[in-house]
Amino acid sequence: MAQMYVLIALLSQLLFTLIQGQQSPCPQYFRYILKPGTDETIGQIEIQSPPKVSELRLKVGLKLTAELPTKNYGHLKLAQSTEDSAQAVLQGRSLLYHIYFPLRQPLPTLIAIWFNGKKYCTGLDATEGVMTTTITTITLEHALYLPNMPSPNSPPNESHQNSTPKPEQQQTSQYDINHNNMFLKPFIIKIPLYSNNNNTFLRPNQSSRPQPNQSPAKPVPQHNNNNNNNNNNNNNNNNNNNNKNNNKNNNNINNNNECGISSRSGNANLLISNGQETLPGEWPWLVAIFLVTHKYEFQCAGTILTNKHVLTAGHCVKNHESNETIPPNVLAVALGRFNLFGFREVGTVNREVASYTIHPDYTHSISSDSDLAILNLREPVEYNYFIKPICLWSGSSDLHNIISRRGYVVGWGKDEFGHDHTDHPRMAIMPIVSLEICHWNSPSFVTLTSNRTFCAGMRDGSAPCNGDSGTALVLFDNTTDRYILRGVVSRTVWSHEPTCDLTKYTVFVDVAKYLVWIQQQISTT
């Protein structure tokens, strides 16, 4: 019997040693522990002295060198009850979370930890040199809401800034933990470690041309609307190549199995000044558009409509000073891009532009009405975990139906530190407002807007800015678990400084008003 106790003690010690052997890149925040009373290894996160605000949002990125056999992605929960956790915050004690992993072996490694929009920890790349064909990336989120506390957006608390705005959700208890928010649902991506990405462009000099970006639209895999114009085609000499009959590929257009599905969840540092950070594959319909002359210049962002078509702002293919159209053969599109100038990163595909079509009603005046262009890629792309189309809007296009809905806008535009662009895309959450409220915000919006545009924004420093033009505003559909395109960033109001006035709303083209025109373009070119 004594020998049995010794054996059990030795096994426990060995298991403890194995757990200790799991390296944590930031042991002050994250470590592996044994679940009490079991031999199951779980993760524990400790947030010391969390801010006393109304919303506490934790996001964790994990990487696993295996494919998951089921849809169990693991889960993130408070280590204590909701009430005890709330008391810990109010008393200035640490907030503890437990991560339950989807597999016992291999254990996932930490990518990063974000708390209220601030990155607390970045992990090492544990997959470097690992001979495997699959990496599964998991993102888990948890939100704890405390009543009678100041908003996270209130003047800080310097060490805990850039908190994510609370998603639309009814509170169900005094301390509402939102387990149904789309960001709390984990997504996985399988990444081939050794892939040929058909990169044809040289690494460019890093230079950018600024313009504004915008927020998210609602995911629904269909499209209807009333704009029957099909003019203003701007083709280069090889335009005939664009008319190859790729019906097979075009049938992928908003395929229910492809469109609007994020490969993971998101977070950002809000200019996307003051935007929140994102992860690769999180917004797979986002593309970067470059002007290619003697060097590569970042021009605008765009959104994948089909495997051959990209939607952007009309002014992105116009010379700002002369109003002349830019030849399509000097434009290049980077799909699946995360690092803006990472032309050889895994998952990215680069394509030349064969032609483009600007909406015939666009006048390049100070109005955002019809500020749309559709780029036709010289060669189609194959969808993967980093490259997917967005879902087009379906149902009523009445703006009143989406007032107060929160859209998601992602881009590489000018940040709060004055950089012309960010290396990685950032995300901002932007509530949609009525045109009346928008006009009250600034007299400039009276001429900038029309009945085919809308305004959105928090007016708190988190908004699209220079370099974000052409990016999408998407809404999330909780019924289908997909994102749907509703807007394209068109205009922002300038401040006294040579940058955007982030106390003002951003103007978006209301894409739902142009669905017939969009359908005509993607079905005939």
* pLDDT digits 0-9 by tens, 178-232: 332 222 223 333 333 322 333 323 222 223 333 333 333 333 333 333 333 333 4
In a domain, 71, yes or no: yes
Residues 6+ apart with CB under 8 A from 224: 394, 395, 515, 516
Distance CA 488, CA 310 (A): 12
Q: Same domain, yes or no, for 84 and 124?
A: yes
CA distances from 131 to 128, 135, 307, 377 (A): 9, 10, 31, 34
Residue 49: CB atoms within 10 A of its CB come to 12
Distance CA 115, CA 515 (A): 39
Indicate if the pLDDT at residue 99 is higher than 70. Answer: yes
Q: Identify the pLDDT of residue 470.
A: 93
Q: Identify the pLDDT of residue 302.
A: 96
Given 120, 145, 170, the domain boundary residue is 145
Percent of the chain predicted with pLDDT > 90:
35
Q: Identify the pLDDT of residue 334.
A: 94
Q: Same domain, yes or no, for 287 and 363?
A: yes
Q: Identify the pLDDT of residue 362.
A: 94
In a domain, 271, yes or no: no
Given 96, 123, 145, the domain boundary residue is 145
Q: Identify the pLDDT of residue 16.
A: 43
Confidence of residue 332 (pLDDT cuts 50, 70, 90): very high
Q: Identify the pLDDT of residue 124.
A: 66
Tokens, residue 200: 């044809």
Q: Among 452, 300, 277, 289, which Cα is nearest to 371's? A: 452
Q: Same domain, yes or no, for 462 and 356?
A: no
More confident residue, 279 or 508: 508
Q: Same domain, yes or no, for 30 and 134?
A: yes
Question: Are residues 306 and 296 in contact, defined by beta-carbon separation less than 8 angstroms?
Answer: no
Q: Identify the pLDDT of residue 460.
A: 57
Q: What is the pLDDT of residues 446-467, one digit of tens each?
A: 888 999 999 998 865 544 555 5
Q: Same domain, yes or no, for 431 and 334?
A: no
More confident residue, 360 or 178: 360
Tokens, residue 455: 């305004």
In a domain, 384, yes or no: no
Q: Same domain, yes or no, for 35 and 137?
A: yes
Give the residue carrying structure tokens 């006294």.
496
Q: Identify the pLDDT of residue 500.
A: 62
Mean pLDDT, residues 414-421 taken together: 54
Q: Same domain, yes or no, for 468 and 354?
A: no
Indicate if the pLDDT at residue 145 is higher than 90. Answer: no
The C-alpha R_g of the chain, in whole angstroms, comes to: 24
Mean pLDDT, residues 2-31 taken together: 58
Q: Same domain, yes or no, for 360 and 428?
A: no
**205 burial class (0-12, 13-18, 19+ CB within 10 angstroms)?**
exposed
In a domain, 216, yes or no: no
In a domain, 266, yes or no: no
Mean pLDDT, residues 118-124 taken together: 83
pTM for this structure? Answer: 0.55
What residues form DSSP beta bridges with 290?
Answer: 298, 332
Most confident by average pLDDT, 45-49, 176-180, 468-472 = 45-49
Question: Are residues 402 and 395 in contact, defined by beta-carbon separation less than 8 angstroms?
Answer: no
Indicate if the pLDDT at residue 4 is higher than 60. Answer: no
Distance CA 376, CA 378 (A): 7
CA 326 to chain centre: 28
CATH at 446: 2.40.10.10
3-state secondary structure of 124: coil
Tokens, residue 177: 């933990």
Confidence of residue 10 (pLDDT cuts 50, 70, 90): very low
Q: Which of 107-121, 176-190, 441-455, 502-516 is least confident?
A: 176-190
Convert 423-447 to b/e letters by CB count within 10 Å (16 or more is b).
ebbbbbbbbbbebeebbebeebbee
Instruction: Look at strands 296-304 and 207-208 and give their pairing.
Output: parallel
Indicate if the pLDDT at residue 69 is higher than 50. Answer: yes
Confidence of residue 266 (pLDDT cuts 50, 70, 90): very low
Indicate if the pLDDT at residue 419 is higher than 60. Answer: no
Q: How many domains does the chain have?
A: 3
3-state secondary structure of 110: strand
Question: Are residues 260 and 391 in contact, defined by beta-carbon separation less than 8 angstroms?
Answer: yes
In a domain, 186, yes or no: no
Q: Same domain, yes or no, for 417 and 481?
A: yes
Given 339, 362, 377, the domain boundary residue is 377
| Residue 439 structural domain | 405-512
In a domain, 386, yes or no: no
Q: Same domain, yes or no, for 424 and 501?
A: yes
Question: Are residues 135 and 176 in contact, defined by beta-carbon separation less than 8 angstroms?
Answer: no
Q: Same domain, yes or no, for 347 and 461?
A: no
Q: Same domain, yes or no, for 358 and 444?
A: no
Indicate if the pLDDT at residue 273 is higher than 60. Answer: no
Confidence of residue 2 (pLDDT cuts 50, 70, 90): very low
Mean pLDDT, residues 166-171 taken together: 35
Q: Which of 227-231, 291-295, 499-503 is least confident?
A: 227-231
Indicate if the pLDDT at residue 13 is higher than 50. Answer: no
Mean pLDDT, residues 317-332 taken together: 89
Indicate if the pLDDT at residue 411 is higher than 50. Answer: yes
Most confident by average pLDDT, 15-19, 69-73, 278-282, 499-503 = 278-282
In whole numbers, what is the pLDDT of the chain averaged over residues? Answer: 73
